[in-house]
Amino acid sequence: MIEKDALKSLDEKKKNWEKKAEKLRQVKSRPRFITVSGEEVKELYTPEDLKNFDYNEKLGLPGEFPYTRGIHHTMYRSRLWTMRQFSGMGTPRQTNERYHYLLNHGQTGLSVAFDLPTLMGFDSDHVRSLGEVGKCGVAVDTLADMEIIFDGINLGEVSTSMTINAPASILLAMYLAVAEKQGIPFAKLRGTLQNDILKEYIAQKEWIFPPRPSIRLITDMMSFCTDHVPQWNTISISGYHIREAGSTAAQELAFTLADGFAYIEAAIADGQDVDKFATRLSFFFNAHQDFFEEIAKYRAARRIYARRMRDKYKAKDERNWLLRFHTQTAGCSLTAQQPENNIVRTALEALSAVLGGTQSLHTNSMDETMALPSDKAALIALRTQHVIACETGVVNTIDPLAGSYFVESMTDKMEADAEKYLDEIDRRGGVLKCIDEGYFQREIARAAYRYQQEIERGERIIVGINDYLVEDEVITIPILKIDETVEREQVASLRKIKSGRDNDKVKRTLDDLAMAAKGNGNTLKAMLDCVRVYATEGEIVDTLRPIFGEYIEPPII
């Protein structure tokens, strides 16, 4: 990257510089110089750090192997990232209204947040759902709820992302059934399911069945979509929650990629052709506060993925070497104190995602440590993306930080650290084995505890938490309250659906699903029949539970 003579002259200059710096080092503006992940950062990066750097091998051109600089040839000059704000709350009707509001304000994709009972496979009238219905997202019990959520929205024209994991097949089946009713062919549907059950065991912990049958539900879905819903992204392999649970950036990167490779291996073992399904896998990363560390993470992710897809999994189609990803700014970086500061945090995090080449982005609202976003906070969050896209100039050129001594060194280090973890996971017998043994869970819990201790020792300053406090602060931003009547309304509408449907048909389709699950039938296909006759999500899960078993967490503290 740099000529020998220049390096030599730099070396001499550095000796001189070192003498001057030595004295100044006695004074430190910060107690330690570490990243959010606890990695030491040097005070200066120079061409010496990139001595054997081979541009073509490490970076190449955008849209070309190894895609470090981005997956498209022209990146944001041709097309901005998708601005996709995750939302959903209360009843299906309220969610439908929020979607119309966001679409009218320039949002370009929908993203559905479900409530906890829906995520865990309980109907709204289940005893475990008490107090939780409609709280963290929208409640969905039957196809009727999905019909209301997408009322007046043409499913052939929007792309929809659904954040659902353990019961993902059921919700996809409902979405497909809504499309049928709208007269839209499956082949025209675009969207993404999160459907990443592995990270549930690792980090988010919204599971139902044990890992092995859960993987089977996923491979069934992948094969159904390959045949019938070819534009649908079946899994969004998520590091977001791993990071939120307290992991470091390198752990987020490595564990997420390891999960991705585990799905790929499972589908290959199921007899599927990697070139047929891999284009529909995408990733989902966190954008945390350490600006350069995050950018390095995204760049390293693309490089590792491209190499493995080409060399290890032998994908022939170049499109399968691309790591496409969605980013969400870090919820765990937000503070309840001086919540307006969260707007600034989110903006900086979003900027790192854009500089890292994200394909879509969710920016958090300032009030998320207190409640679901108010309309005002949600709009500011969306406008943050508009400001980055239109006013900062960062979209003018592709991967503007490439060639920075620091960013390239950090990208290399991130890659090496992630590779080390990937080797360790292999050594331990693979992702499922590591989940069984609680390896990921333990690594993350330790990192989270270390981070908290660093804050409490004052080695890390979080504005408004351990410095720059405001005494007797009064929170003045509006806080959204979920109406406590939502639960009653939702339970009433569920009862109505149940009393109006053909229960014989429901029983027949559920029996067929049980048969498929016990044998080799495609479970998604069977679920589609169940939801068409308004079987509830809970009934479908209850049908599968005795066949697949239930997951119990390992005691990792």
Partner 1 sequence: MSEKIRVLLAKPGLDGHDRGIKVIAAAFRDAGFEVIYTGLRQTPENIVNAAIQEDVDAVGVSILSGAHMTLFPAILNLLKEKKADQIILFGGGIIPDEDVAALEKSGVDKLFTPGATTEETVKYLREAVAKRKRDEKII
Partner 2 sequence: MTVLEKFLSGDQAALARIITFIEDRQEKYREVLARLYPQSGRAVKIGFTGPPGAGKSSLVNSIARLLLARGHRIGIIAVDPTSPFTGGALLGDRIRMVDMPTDGSVYIRSMATRGSSGGLAAATGNVATALDAFGFDFILIETVGVGQVELDIVDTCDTVIVVLVPESGDAIQALKAGLMEIADIFAINKADRPGSENIVAELNMVLELKRNKIEWDLPVIATEAINNKNIDRLLEKIDAHLGYIKTSGLFEKHRREQIKNKLFGVMQFHFNNLIRQEIGRITDLDKVISDIYEGKSDPFTVGESLLKKISGIQPLH
Give the contact letters, 425-454, x = binds to partner 2 (CB under 8 A), - = no. Answer: ------------x-----------------
Note whether 127 binds partner 2 by CB under 8 A.
no
193 C-beta neighbours (distance < 10 Å), count:
24
- Burial of 30: CB neighbours in 10 Å, binned 0-12, 13-18, 19+: exposed
Separation between Cα atoms, residue 103 and residue 170, nearest integer Å: 26
Which one, of 550, 531, 504, lies nearest residue 171 by Cα?
Answer: 531
Is 344:388 a contact under the CB 8 Å cutoff? no
Cβ-based nearer residue to partner 2, 71 or 431: 431
Note whether 463 binds partner 1 by CB under 8 A.
no
By CB under 8 A, the count of residues binding partner 2 is 9
The option from partner 2, partner 1, none interacting with 260 (CB < 5 to 8 A, set by class) reads none
The option from partner 1, partner 2, none interacting with 130 (CB < 5 to 8 A, set by class) reads partner 1
73 C-beta neighbours (distance < 10 Å), count:
12
Cβ-based nearer residue to partner 2, 458 or 549: 549
DSSP structure string for 116-166: HHHHHT--TTSGGGTTTTTTSSB---SHHHHHHHTTT--TTT-EEEEE--T
> Residue 300 contacts by C-beta under 8 Å, 6 or more apart in sequence?
68, 253, 411, 412, 414, 415, 418
Cβ-based nearer residue to partner 1, 128 or 420: 128
Least separation in angstroms between residue 126's CB and partner 2 is 15
Q: Which of 455, 461, 492, 515 binds partner 1 (CB under 8 A)?
A: 455
Which of these ranges, 291-299, 449-457, 520-528, 548-556, lies near partner 2 under the rule CB under 8 A? Answer: 548-556
Q: What phi and psi, each to the nearest 5 degrees, are found at residue 433?
A: -60, -40
Q: Which residue type, as a one-letter code, is found at position 368?
A: E
Cβ-based nearer residue to partner 2, 92 or 213: 213
Cβ-based nearer residue to partner 2, 502 or 553: 553
Note whether 546 binds partner 2 by CB under 8 A.
no
Note whether 549 binds partner 2 by CB under 8 A.
yes
Note whether 44 binds partner 1 by CB under 8 A.
no
For residue 172, the SS3 value is helix
Note whether 196 binds partner 1 by CB under 8 A.
no
Give the contact letters, 93-122, x = binds to partner 2 (CB under 8 A), - = no. Answer: ------------------------------
Separation between Cα atoms, residue 428 and residue 434, nearest integer Å: 7
Note whether 470 binds partner 2 by CB under 8 A.
no
Separation between Cα atoms, residue 479 and residue 373, nearest integer Å: 8
Which one, of 391, 359, 373, lies nearest residue 84 by Cα?
Answer: 359
Least separation in angstroms between residue 243's CB and partner 1 is 10
Least separation in angstroms between residue 373's CB and partner 1 is 13
> What is the DSSP-derived secondary structure letter of residue 202?
I
For residue 217, the SS3 value is helix
Note whether 477 binds partner 1 by CB under 8 A.
no
Separation between Cα atoms, residue 369 and residue 365, nearest integer Å: 9
Q: Which of 10, 268, 336, 477 binds partner 1 (CB under 8 A)?
A: 336
Note whether 479 binds partner 1 by CB under 8 A.
yes
Is 350:389 a contact under the CB 8 Å cutoff? no
Note whether 465 binds partner 1 by CB under 8 A.
yes
Which of these ranges, 78-86, 219-227, 464-472, 547-555, lies near partner 2 under the rule CB under 8 A? Answer: 547-555
Provide the H-helix boundaries in 329-427: 341-355, 375-391, 405-427
Which stretches of the chain bind partner 1, using CB under 8 A?
A: 116-117, 119-120, 122, 128-132, 135-136, 200, 204-207, 244-246, 332, 335-337, 369-371, 445, 448-449, 452-453, 455-456, 464-466, 475, 479, 481-482, 484, 553, 555, 557
In the complex, which residues of this chain contact partner 2 (CB under 8 A)? 210, 437, 549, 552-557
